[in-house]
Homo-oligomer: A and B are copies of this chain.
Amino acid sequence: MNLKQLSELLGLSQTTVSRALNGYPEVNQATRERVLKAVKETGYRPNKAAQRLATGKAGSIGLVMPTETGHYSDVHFGEFLSGLGEAAVRHDFHFVIMPADPQDEIGALRRLAASGNVDALFLAYMRTNDPRLAMLKSLPIPFLVHGRSLGSEPDYPYLDVDNEQAFHDAAKLLLQLGHKRIALINGPEHLDFAIRRRMGLATALCDKGLMLGPEHMHHSIMTDEHGQLAMERFLRLPERPTGVLCSSTVLALGAVRAINQAGLKLGEDISLIAHDDVLPLLRPENFSVPLTTTRSSLRAAGSRIAERLIGSLQQKADMPEQELWKAELIVRASTGPALA
């Protein structure tokens, strides 16, 4: 029994039957009741969940959202979700978001996959030797990773920014401008992107015979408050850094505040380069001293990832398995020559 047959049986148009089933107020009560009675008698399945159960497709992508009281919401996550949404809306896909205790992410991913409510899974906030990868590979549904996992066999589908190259390029610019003490205000230490960015800086310094000392490194969640605290600590060092790399414009917001409050001039007394995820909230060109940045759009990454996941479900063959995006290095006023 399909919609056409049901409509013919009832002597109603398919539009009317469909509207009655979907609760449109324009359909009068008597008609609605006739339709519902016929549905019961014929076993017609108006319910999309039922249809999807039959076809085995849910039209959705599953995500786990680590959640706990006091856990910071992440502006980067919201922006990424907007990008996913841009692509999903073109294909009439939706998302199933499962909030989960950060200790229970693997369990939550399993439950999502087993629920039958998602066709594919999306993974982010990658760590070294990430234990979620092995589990995802054992599941019968496809998945896609935003980022990579150092220490894991690189045999999984991903989209990543070349974080090591980005921070290597940024550090190299500061070195060319004569800076020798370059510090890092980074994201959480256990996350893959943070490790790669640190490696990029360390390698550039090493090429010049310089070392990245522990007193010049800060790792934390990426809020302006943490950026400010980190910069305040750097500025109290006997030999303070003259150049700083920041893993987010959000961290840079706090770092710049600390520089201003210390009475120093950004781009003269101290140079700073931030990674710019192109958050509409914080444009680097709008800082009172516009920021030099490594730029890669999180929204574009989200959109591309949703396109790839949906494409893999529709078995489009031209979807590359692994993509590494290059960040652009854009010079503005926050960088200048090191003072002699």
Binding site for B on A (CB under 8 A): 21-25, 46-50, 52-53, 58, 60, 65, 67-69, 71-75, 77-79, 81-82, 84-86, 88-89, 94-101, 110-117, 134-135, 138-140, 223-225, 228, 250, 254, 257, 260-261, 279-283, 286, 288, 299
The answer to whether B88 touches A99 (Cβ under 8 A) is yes
Using CB atoms, name the residue of chain B closest to A99. B85
The residue from B49, B89, B98, B112 contacting A99, defined by CB atoms under 8 A apart: B89
The residue from B23, B89, B280 contacting A113, defined by CB atoms under 8 A apart: B23
Most chain B CB inside 10 Å of its own CB: which residue of A81, A86, A279, A281: A281
The answer to whether B78 touches A23 (Cβ under 8 A) is no
25 contacts between A and B (CB under 8 A): A22-B111, A22-B113, A23-B113, A23-B114, A25-B135, A48-B111, A48-B116, A48-B117, A49-B53, A49-B58, A49-B116, A58-B117, A67-B88, A69-B86, A72-B82, A73-B79, A75-B75, A89-B100, A94-B96, A95-B98, A96-B96, A96-B97, A96-B117, A224-B282, A224-B283
Most chain B CB inside 10 Å of its own CB: which residue of A21, A84, A139, A280: A280
| Residues A71 and B67 in contact in the complex (CB < 8 Å), given A94-B96, A113-B23, A280-B223 | no
The residue from B81, B99, B113, B279 contacting A94, defined by CB atoms under 8 A apart: B99
Q: Which chain B residues lie closer than 8 Å to A254 at the CB level?
A: 286
The answer to whether B286 touches A23 (Cβ under 8 A) is no
Q: Which chain B residues lie closer than 8 Å to A225 at the CB level?
A: 283, 286
The answer to whether A94 touches B89 (Cβ under 8 A) is no
Q: Which chain B residues lie closer than 8 Å to A89 at the CB level?
A: 67-68, 99-101
Given contacts A46-B114, A73-B280, A78-B81, 9 further A-B contacts (CB under 8 A): A24-B138, A48-B116, A53-B53, A58-B117, A67-B88, A72-B280, A73-B82, A95-B95, A223-B280
Chain B nearest CB: distance from A134 CB in Å? 7
The answer to whether A250 touches B99 (Cβ under 8 A) is no
**Identical chains bound together, number:** 2
The answer to whether A47 touches B114 (Cβ under 8 A) is yes
The residue from B73, B95, B288 contacting A78, defined by CB atoms under 8 A apart: B73
Q: What is the bound-complex CA distance between A82 and B97, given in angstroms?
A: 11
Q: Which chain B residues lie closer than 8 Å to A65 at the CB level?
A: 81-82, 85
Chain B nearest CB: distance from A310 CB in Å? 12
